[in-house]
Structure formats: structure tokens, C-alpha cells
Structure 1
Amino acid sequence: MRVSARDMMKDARYAPFAPTSHPHAPVVEPAPGRSRINRLAIVMMAVFGLLAARAVQLSLAGAPASARVAAPVAMPVLARADLVDRNGVLMATMLPSWTLAGEPEKVWDAAQAARRLATVVPGLDAAATERRLRSKSKFVHLKPGLTTSQRRAVHDLGIAGISFEREQRRVYPNGVLAGHALGSVNRDGAGAGGVEAALDADIRRAAEAGTQVALSIDTRIQYALETELADAAWGAKAKGGAGVILDGRTGEVLAIASWPQVDPNAPGAGTDVARLNRATGAVFEMGSTLKPFTAAMALDLDQLRLAERFDLTASLNVDGVTIRDPHPFAGPATIREAMSHSSNVAMAQVALRVGAARQRDYLGRLGLLEKPSIEIGGMPAPLLPRGDSRLTTAVLGYGHGLAPTLVALAGAYTVFTNGGARTNPTMLRHADGDPVRRTRVFSALSTQETLQLMRDVVVEGTARRADLGGLDIAGKTGTAEKPGADGKYDPDVLFSSFAAVFPARAPRYVIVLALDEPQRTAENGNLATGGAVAAPAVGRVVARIAPFLAHAPARPEGPRTGGGTP
């Protein structure tokens, strides 16, 4: 027979330490004229009787009443509201729970008690439990988080000196899904990481009001992102990975993932590598995914024309430092060709036209020079470039020298969904009719021209592997070298990414996916670049989530020619 939590509260078997009346106590009917006095007398006698019995109990224990710790007192329950996704799917809730406890001086045989308890409480360490039950402490905790059925099983053992503390535990019914984003709660019931920490006060207030907290996440999209990210990371033997999907119009985070995954139901488990949230809790140089911003800056300032050609047959010397392209061009190239094949030399020249001051101003309005204001705890500040020399300006043009979080990069890409205006990422569901705050960065015209460049990257450039089934994606790959142990960039230690918007004809959604230290594998053509490991995963994610977003794949385009290394 199943017993509900409410029934348990009523049933004396589930509250062995609560005072109960004797089932066969005589019923005394007071005289009609003195019933009120008799009732008062009975209450007073009962109170004094309980106090006297308690005093005797404490005196027999050999300790003053003020110092004696007796039966466990239930810890205060800190109410937390349910967390649900944008469609009402439950993501976090509170369930009744019990902490197994003991009073060592009342346990007759600690070894036997520990062995018996271990048979009904999963994960209970019998040896550790025996040591606690042999301690000189008046009261010890043995195991938190017992379910109602586990508590009943322990109760039915009838072991003297074993008791329970009623509490509530935070439960995440979807396991590892969105584990990093949700965070967890600590032993005191306070938020620890993720949304739980950032929205701690709001979650408590919602509980008091009897309401839920609706997050922006769509669990269907979250699942698609997490599974494709994991597949890509495994295939590339990567150290880790992360991904973000935004509704660029509102800034709502539809999915945000970090790999390896963590289970918020067991926040202490896993390695440090797994616990790191690579989407929000770490900063990386993003490399060439910043190149579209450099082009947009120059177009916005009338410092660049789409038809002009750059001499990319040689390297570029800036302040005594040589900037090269991995695969030099055979002749002059347009900005379309330079973007499609990710020329560092071209983008360094464009950045120098923009200039240091205006470059910093644009980067600031893109939100790349400060922490995003997203509702996730543990967000680091970006690593900023040093100084404003010509060299710094040039290398910033192709994504070196600035290390933001992945979610900050995703937020910056919202300019391509709003005609040049940026929206802040948010973990909260946007209510229809509520205003959306945007920051103007580029003109609508320069944004549209940059989108054309990004579409060419997918159709005939380094992101061709993302162009699956005519899904109309526009974006830019990135392959950034990470510093080695000596502080110098290591060409074999990479952060490979792809940042995109879709559908390109009427952009609304942003998707950014990155792999941390992918390896060159046969599965990826012995390449570890963003075009080889991240772009294909983005294509697969978009193919899976397009039906949820009411954007079926566009009609495939005809074949187009083009070369270049992903």
C-alpha cells in the first residue's frame, strides 16, 4: 500500500517521537457546572506533568537541561518554488526527505545496528555508521536524503536510538539535463551555482507566493543541443565543450549546455573538469568568430566596400610582428572571399582602418568587455586586451587578445537578428507584451551586408559542413590556439567553435557551439578546426530543432563551387 506524505503526518507510526494518547485511557465526563474549570485544570496538569517528566529524563542523563541535546529537532525548511521550462515542464521541485540520525548512548549494539541499517538504506557506509554510533556525541547525523519509503523501512527495523529529521530536498527530475545551468542547493537549502544561486531570492519569494519560476529553456531544444554536443565532443576526443541557443529577438536562452555533464541531484560528484561550466564559467579567446564584427565595424564607418580587393598573397607586418594566413591566397581577394576563407591578414587590415578607440567602443556595445547580466551564478569577467597599440588593434580584428564567455559571444551575435541591435541573454521566459531592452551597435544596412558575408562562409567557405539540407544558416568558424605551459600559443591545443544565426533570410535564432581541445581524428578528416568539429554539430542541432521553432528547412540551393580549408 502506498502511503502519501500527508497520511504519514497523520499516522503515529511515522512520527514515533510525537506525543500520543493511550488507546485505552478512560474518558472522564466533567460535571456540567464545572466543565470549564475542569478542562483548564486538566490542561495545566498535563503541561506540568510533561515538564516534570522532561526534567527527570534530563537529570537521569547527568546533564543540565540547558546543555542537554535530546531528540533531534527538525531543521527549518527553506521553501523554494518549482522551476519549469518555457512550456511548463518541471525542472526542479521540492520533495519531503529525511535525515537518518542517531543517539549513540541509546544504541545497544552499534555494529549490529549499522549492518541492519545498511540493508535498507542505499549507499549507507556500515563501517562509518558504526563509528558514528560509537562516538561520545549526544546526537549524530548518519545519512541525509532518505525517501519516505526508506524512512519507513528503517522505522520497521525497530532499532533503539535511531531517529529522523524531517526536511525537504531539492529534486531535479530530468537528471543531467541542463545540470550546469540549473545549479543546485546546499545543505542549508540555499542556491549553489547556476540559476538556483542567481535567482535564489526570486525562487524563495515565488515559493511564498505559491507560484513557479518559468525559465526560458525549452527542454526539447536543450536535449537536442546536449546530445549533439556530446557526440561531437566524443568524436573529436575533446577535453570539453559548450553550446548556447538564443532567441535573438528577446535574448531568451532556449538551451545552454556544457560537456561533460553534471547531475544537480549529486552536485558533489564528478570531476573538476565536468563541474566547470564552459558556457558561462570560463573565458576563451574566440578566434575568427569575431571577424564578422570587424567587418561590420568597417562597413558601419564606411571604411570598407564589399567589392574592394585585398592583396593577400603576402604576410602583414605590424609593429615588427608578422601576421600570416595559414593558406595564403594566390591573388587579390574580395572581403567576401577573405571572410569565407578566414583571412587573418585581411581582417587585420580592416581593423586598422577602424582604429583602436572606435574598435573598443564597438566591442563595448557588443557586450564583450564586461560580464553578461545573465541569471547564472559564477560568471567571470572577460580577459581584456592590453593597451591600444596598432598590433593589439590588428590582432583583435581576427579574435586574438580578447577572451569572453561563450554566452557573451552568443549575446553579441544577436545583433545579426535585430538589424544591428544587441539583446542581453536571459534565463527567464519573456512574457508577451513585455518590452525588450536592446543596445544599438550597427546600422541595419551594415548588419545585412555582414550577414551576406556570413552566409557565404557556410555556402562556400570554412563552414560548408554546417550547410546540411538547405537549412539557411549564416555564421563564422573559429579556431583559436590556447596558451601552452610556457605561455606561448600552442598550435596543437585549440578552442574550436562555430557561431551562427538562422534562418539567414530572416534571422531570429543564435547558436554557438565550441569544443575545448579537440583532437585530430579520422572521423573529422584529421582536422580539429571549428569548421571540422563544431560546424557539422551546429548543422545537426539546427536540423533537429527547426520543427520545434516552426522553421522547416528551406528549399536546398543549387550546388556552388568553392574551396578552402575548414
Structure 2
Amino acid sequence: MVRTPLRPLPRILDARAQGENPQAVEREMLRVRREQARDIGRKRAEWRLLILAVLFFAGYAAIGTRMGLLAAAPVIEAEPYVGEQIADARADILDRNGRILATNLVTNSLYAELRYMIDGDRAAAELARIFPDVDEDRLAARLTDPDRSFVWIRARLSPEQAQAVHDIGEPGLLLGPRQMRLYPNGRLAAHVLGGAGYGQQGVTAAEIIGTAGIEHRMDARLRDPDLADVPLTLSLDLAVQGVVEEVLGSGIEMLNARAGSAIIMDADTGELVAMASLPDFDPNDRPAPPVEGDPTEHPLFNHAVQGVYELGSVMKSFAVAQALDLGLVTPETVIDTRGPLRMAGFSIRDYRNYGAELPVSEVFVHSSNIGTARLAQMIGIDRQQDFLRRFGFLDPLDLEVTEARRALPQFPERWGELSAMTISYGHGLSTTPVHLAAGYAALVNGGRRVVPTLLRRPEVQPVEQLVTPETSRQMRAMMHAVVERGTARMAQVEGYAVGGKTGSADKPNPQGRYYDDRVIATFAGAFPMTDPRYVIVVTLDEPSETSGEQARRTAGWTVVPVAAEMVRRIAPMMGMRPQSDAEIEAAFSLR
């Protein structure tokens, strides 16, 4: 470093020679040096401020750029709690009028974190008071086990139970929010809905999966996250379903029947407006499947779609319709009804003696087994099989409930002439009430095949023509005659033209024969028969009407009044105007 002298000698000597004060030279030199130092400090400060300003600008620019990039980036959903990636969304189920049949409800699960537990024995005692089914000693052992850190206690709680658990005040008892499936109408339409349960579970989420009924069959649709906000609309009418179940239940109780089913189907679209099976259950608390005993006696058994029965004389409608459609007979054609009719060592008899001959219309009205068997002989085996197959009687149902595909119609492997004759009047072919309803819909709607469905289908789908409109008209007239003066006279409902056919099929016993005093009683028909809109099928298992001296089990005394009460109550609800007797009478004539 070069040192600048504070008092340069040449200038001092020169100042003395001229008589000046040498101290002034020193002061001047000091001033110059201070000014130089000040200039250097100012420049250094200016550079520091400039660098600091650049750094601040760069920092704010980086922050602003990052904020802009985040704002422009696509939204990313927040991750679920602690790795629980469980989808619990499930679409609502509605009836045809938008009323809720099934929905999701926020509830809580209950679990224990033992690291926070203060008094496990007290917590177990309090929980046993809230949940009577809890084993207090076993729970206490789990809550005080030093080798445990987590205890799962309850999958779901009601709001009252959740509050009671909260009031215990135990920090180790924790509630986890989750969804549950709720059926707000309880038992109503239980077999249609089926029920749902939990699949994969975590403490704050649970996967809801269908376990039976439409909940199981349509599970993929209901769990689709893209359709979670789009309800699944069924064909059921909740109000009609309620009336049908109420009347069916009263009929079962009054007639001491083991079980029963009832179906109301739109004759044009195949929509099931009501489908009931009793006994039933509450899908909010679905019972466990049976592991022993007769499954048909369990509440989970759906008699409408799982009940495969010989349905008796209701099947005569198809034999008569086929004979008319083939042009083999007319309603006036006389049929030999002398009996018994013997075939291959088997005797076919009528319930009572109807005389030596009857026209086809009277064979149907009086339900002659012999006359119907004669028609089956005229039709032939191959044509009968083809006809029943086209009506769907030989194939499983493709209905939107899981149980339907498991019910297989039963018929002889060797379909000979005797089988053809017995099948014509309802013995030898076992099928379900829904099969029967679809068949009757085709007979009364002008001959068009319908496909049964539980989904809303407001428009008629293009389908196969099974019989001609003229055959359908003739069948409607004969079915109405059965109610007016035949075996179903108790089905008459004032203001509504009801038509149909009765069936009383003996029940098979385990020994391979038939019971003498047990029947499946069925009424299958439609209303109003002047322009059929709905098909009705009601079935009772082992009914018995005991108001007289002897028990009466035939359909005319048992199931027919139950069906009539259903029509009487639901027809006005479904917007049908009552007709006068003159209007009804003018609409029918057998030609």
C-alpha cells in the first residue's frame, strides 16, 4: 500500500518561503482525502443497493412465476386420509316417480387406538351398554391387551349410538366418518332391492357393494364414479308396491299360506310396476343366508323369480291360444270331453263332469283338463315345444335381479305325447310367476312378446309377434268369461273388467308323488280387459280357506279374492277410470 504523506515537505517549505501558514496546507490535504473516502463509500453503497434491488426483483419474479404456473396447472384431487384410497360413492335408486328406494347416508365407524386409551375396562362396560350384542369380557380383554395398538369395534353406528359413544369421554374410542346404504322404506320391495354391504374397509371409508337383488346385478352401474350422481330409475311404483304387499300379507295370514308372491306388469312394455314376495326381510338388516333346512321357507327366498312351480290350469291359456292361432279350432269348435282320457297307462280326469263335449270357449271357462289335452294332441309335440320356447317358458329369466338367473325352468327330457298333454294343463312344466306374467302379457296385448324388466322403459320395444291380434282378442274375451261365470267369479271388481285364469297345482312331495292336501294356487290375468294395461299374477303356497265345514284349497276360493282386492285398490291409483257394466258388456262377444 502506498502511503500518502499527510504534510508533503515541498509544499510546506514553499509555504514558509512565501510567508504562509504551513498548517493550512495540512488542512487542505486532509479535506481532499476525506472527500475521496466519501466518494468511494458512496459508490460502494450505490452498488450494494443495486445488487440488493436486483435480488429482490429476481425473488419476486420467481414467486410470481410459480404462482402463475400453479394457477394454470390442472386441479389435482387431495389424497384420501393416510393412504385409504377406497371409493364409497354409489348412485341412488328411485322408483318410477322419483321416490327414493335406496341411498347413501353419512355414518360413523367405531374403533379404538390403544395408545390413547385411559380405562379399557370402563370403555368395554359402557360399549356393552350401548351395544347389547357386544361381549363385554371379550372386548375388555382386547382393549387392555398391551400387544395391540388398534381394535376394530363397529362398522357403522346410528347417530344416537355415535352420540352415546362420544359421551363416554374415552379418548381412545374414535369415530371414523363413512358412507352406509340406507333403505328408507324398510321392508318395502326388499327382494327387488336385495341389499348391500361393505367390501374393502378402512377407518374413514368403506366400499359399498351389492349383495343381492338389483343392488348386486347392477353393482357396476351403481358404483361407476362417472354415474354416481345419476340415479338408477326402476319401473316399480312405490305406492302400488306398498298396497300389493299389504294385501298379499293379509291374504297369506287369512288363508294360512306358507308364502306368496304377486306381480303387476305393464302389458305393453314388460315393466314390473310391483313385484312382491312374502315372507320378506329388512334390507337395512339383511339376515344371513340359510345353511340348513328348506331354503324356500327362508325370508331371503324370492318366490316371484326363484319359485319354480307347476302352475296348474293357468297354463291352459297357452294351449288354447296356440290351437286358435294355428287355425285348428275356433271358440265354437266342439271338443270331446268324455273321460277319463287314458294315455300310456295314465288317466286324465276333470275336476267335475262337464258332459260329453264342450266348445273350446267352455273348455277354457270350465277349465277342462280332458278338453285341453285333446287340443294338445291336435297341436303336436314339436309345435307345442316351439310355442312355449318362443314365449320364454323354457329359458331362465334375464331379469335385473341376481336370483333370476339361478331359477331354471324344469321340463321333461323326453317330451312325449303324454308330457305334451299334461303340460297343456299345467303339470310337467315348472316355471316362475314372472315367466307366467310375461306370457299373459303377450296373450292380452295383441300378441306381442314382452321382456320383463325392473328398469324404467317408457317406450314399447320392437319385439316378436307370438300370436295374431285376433287370437289375442279371442283370449281376452274368454278370460273375461272365466271371471264372469267360470272358476274366477270372485275376481269381479265393480267398474273394472278383470279377466284371467285360475290354477290349482298339487305340490310334489319328496317321494316323487303329489300331496293330496297341498296346492300352489295361482291367478293370472289382466285389467281392464276392454283394453288391457296391466297383467296381474298372484300365487299362494298351500293356502286353505276354512270358513266352511271343509277346508277349500282351490284358487277360486283362495288366491282369486286376494287378486281382486289388489285390483280394487290399485286400479284407481294407476289412473284407470271405472267403466259402467254397459260399457264392459259392449266390449265383449265371443264369435
The bucket for the TM-score relative to the shorter chain is 0.7 to 0.9
- The letter for the 2-side match of 1:419 is G
Q: Say which of 89, 103, 111 aligns to 1:101.
A: 111
| Partner SS for 1:177 | coil
The answer as to whether partners of 1:95 and 1:170 remain within 8 angstroms in 2 is yes
| Partner SS for 1:246 | strand
Q: Per-residue deviation at 1:559?
A: 13
Q: Unpaired runs of 5+ in structure 2?
A: 1-55, 64-80, 200-207, 586-591
1:558 to 1:152, Cα distance in 2 relative to 1, 3 A: closer
1:441 to 1:216, Cα distance in 2 relative to 1, 3 A: same
- In structure 1, the partner of 2:490 is 465
Q: Say which of 77, 100, 106 aligns to 1:90.
A: 100
Q: Per-residue deviation at 1:153?
A: 3.2
Aligned pairs for 1:332-371 (under 5 A) are 332-371=357-396
Q: Say which of 149, 156, 181 aligns to 1:170.
A: 181
**Structure 1 position 410 matched with structure 2 position 437:** yes
Q: Per-residue deviation at 1:493?
A: 2.0
The answer as to whether partners of 1:181 and 1:194 remain within 8 angstroms in 2 is yes
**Structure 1 position 249 matched with structure 2 position 268:** yes
Q: Deviations over 1:91-143 (max 9, x none)?
A: 10000121211245654543321221234457555455335435655433212
The answer as to whether partners of 2:366 and 2:486 remain within 8 angstroms in 1 is yes
Aligned pairs for 1:112-261 (under 5 A) are 112-121=122-131, 124-134=134-144, 137-188=148-199, 189-205=208-224, 208=227, 210-261=229-280
The answer as to whether partners of 2:123 and 2:168 remain within 8 angstroms in 1 is no
- The letter for the 2-side match of 1:243 is A
**Structure 1 position 426 matched with structure 2 position 453:** yes
Q: Per-residue deviation at 1:384?
A: 2.3
Please identify, of 231-240 and 415-424, the stretch whose mean Cα deviation from structure 2 is larger: 415-424
Q: Per-residue deviation at 1:77?
A: 3.8
The answer as to whether partners of 1:423 and 1:437 remain within 8 angstroms in 2 is no
The answer as to whether partners of 1:72 and 1:164 remain within 8 angstroms in 2 is no
- Count how many residue pairs are aligned between Structure 1 and Structure 2: 496
Q: Deviations over 1:43-82 (max 9, x none)?
A: xxxxxxxxxxxxxxxxxxxxxxxxxxxx997672421111
Q: Per-residue deviation at 1:237?
A: 0.9
- The letter for the 2-side match of 1:199 is M
The answer as to whether partners of 2:444 and 2:475 remain within 8 angstroms in 1 is no
1:240 to 1:76, Cα distance in 2 relative to 1, 3 A: same
Q: Say which of 259, 277, 280 aligns to 2:302.
A: 277
- The letter for the 2-side match of 1:552 is R
1:185 to 1:448, Cα distance in 2 relative to 1, 3 A: same
Q: Deviations over 1:327-349 (max 9, x none)?
A: 12234222222212211111111
| Partner SS for 1:142 | strand
- The letter for the 2-side match of 1:252 is E
Q: Say which of 259, 284, 293 aligns to 1:265.
A: 284
**Structure 1 position 551 matched with structure 2 position 562:** no
- The letter for the 1-side match of 2:241 is Q
Distance between the aligned counterparts of 2:549 and 2:320, measured in 1? 29
| Partner SS for 1:163 | strand
Q: Deviations over 1:346-403 (max 9, x none)?
A: 1111111111111111111111111122111111121123322100110110011111
| Partner SS for 1:422 | coil
Percent identity of equivalent pairs: 34
- In structure 1, the partner of 2:410 is 383
Distance between the aligned counterparts of 2:225 and 2:262, measured in 1? 29
The answer as to whether partners of 1:340 and 1:461 remain within 8 angstroms in 2 is yes
Aligned pairs for 1:452-531 (under 5 A) are 452-522=477-547, 526-531=551-556
Q: Say which of 370, 394, 419 aligns to 2:421.
A: 394
Which of structures 1 and 2 has the bigger CA Rg? 2
Q: Say which of 107, 114, 120 aligns to 1:110.
A: 120
Q: Deviations over 1:420-479 (max 9, x none)?
A: 111111111124xx4513221111111211222211111111111111224201100111
Aligned pairs for 1:313-324 (under 5 A) are 313-324=338-349
Distance between the aligned counterparts of 1:559 and 1:191, measured in 2? 47
- Name the Cα RMSD after superposition: 2.8
Distance between the aligned counterparts of 1:524 and 1:214, measured in 2? 49
What is the TM-score normalised by the length of structure 1? 0.82
Q: Say which of 319, 322, 341 aligns to 1:297.
A: 322
What is the TM-score normalised by the length of structure 2? 0.78
Please identify, of 198-207 and 384-393, the stretch whose mean Cα deviation from structure 2 is larger: 198-207
- The letter for the 1-side match of 2:350 is D
1:322 to 1:115, Cα distance in 2 relative to 1, 3 A: same
Q: Unpaired runs of 5+ in structure 1?
A: 1-31, 40-70, 561-566
- In structure 1, the partner of 2:42 is none
